[in-house]
Amino acid sequence: MGGKILFAAILVLAFVAIALSPVNQAALYEDQLYELDLFSRCNDIGRDIKSGNVSSYTRRHLVVLKEELSALAPEDPSLQNVSRIYLECIALLSQAVDATARGNTEAASSAFSQAELRFTQAERQLNYYKRAFDQED
């Protein structure tokens, strides 16, 4: 019985320590992005663009993705910048979808390439910000 009480006390102390420790907002934001499955969903849209097979489903997917990403609304200015870049990526994907639907493969390819660059930029900034936070601890 004494062991159970000791274990419970250690568990409570661990939860208190976690609750009182500084929170890496970048890591939390990254977890939220992971839950959105942002990378895979953007890849699915990219696959539709590259195959020339965009549909109302692809367009709706972009709208929902933009809404979900906008709903995260981080409070930290650095994360707001990362979020803005991800939203720019979604806007560029939307331009690529529109160009694909019009049959303008050159414009679609250009917008898609820019979207890939913006996505990579957002990922790098998020990783930089996570590292910076970890170094502060």
pLDDT digits 0-9 by tens, 109-135: 999 999 999 999 999 999 998 888 777
Burial letters 3-29, b for 16+ CB under 10 A, else e: eeeeeeeeeeeeeeeeeeeeebbbeeb
pLDDT digits 0-9 by tens, 10-51: 655 555 444 434 468 888 888 999 999 998 999 999 999 999
Contacts of 49 (CB under 8 A, 6+ apart): 58, 93, 96, 97, 100, 108, 112
pLDDT digits 0-9 by tens, 63-111: 999 999 999 888 888 899 999 999 999 999 999 999 999 999 999 999 9
* Interatomic CA distance for residues 44 and 91, integer angstroms: 15
CA distances from 103 to 45, 47, 52, 72, 119 (A): 16, 16, 8, 34, 24
Instruction: With 0.85 as the threshold, say if the pTM is over it.
Output: no
Which of 126, 48, 37 lies closest to 93 in space, CA to CA? 48
